[in-house]
Amino acid sequence: MVLGERGNIFDISGFRSVNEEVLETLIKTPGLLVERIVSHGQTTVIGEWYDQAGDEWVLLLTGRAVIRFESDETIELLPGDYLFIPAHRKHRVEFTSADPDCIWLAIHGKL
């Protein structure tokens, strides 16, 4: 993203893909990544876990989603819900709604 560039977080025209999740980088610096993610029913592959080196803070803007942690704890997210996931806390996306699509704002780094 260029300084002064304008966009709309809810405008997913041109980004919607039924077959795969779409990740769009909004801001990227050496210590920070801010991205928009559009999910349409996608989940993490069964048996796989995210084990990220940095912290992650996610905000679900539209749709419904379920995150599962390796401890078997699950958290349902509805529009407006946010979640902080510390580095190396293994987790997976168990569910994302397809109607409406899930629009996420994700911030990665040392938070």
Inside any domain, residue 7 = no
- Which residues is 66 bridged to in the sheet? 76, 95
What range defines the domain where residue 80 resides?
A: 22-109
**Overall domain count for the chain:** 1
DSSP 101: P
User: How do strand 74-77 and strand 102-109 relate by DSSP bridges?
Assistant: unpaired
Inside any domain, residue 9 = no
Contacts of 85 (CB under 8 A, 6+ apart): 52, 55, 56, 57, 58, 67, 91
Amino acid 95: pLDDT: 97
- 10-22 average pLDDT score: 77
What's the CATH number where 37 sits? Answer: 2.60.120.10
- pLDDT, one tens digit per residue, over 47-101 is 999 999 999 999 999 999 999 999 999 999 999 999 999 999 999 999 999 999 9
Inside any domain, residue 15 = no
pTM to 2 decimals? Answer: 0.89
Inside any domain, residue 102 = yes
104 vs 107: CA distance, rounded Å: 10
Inside any domain, residue 65 = yes
- 6-27 average pLDDT score: 83
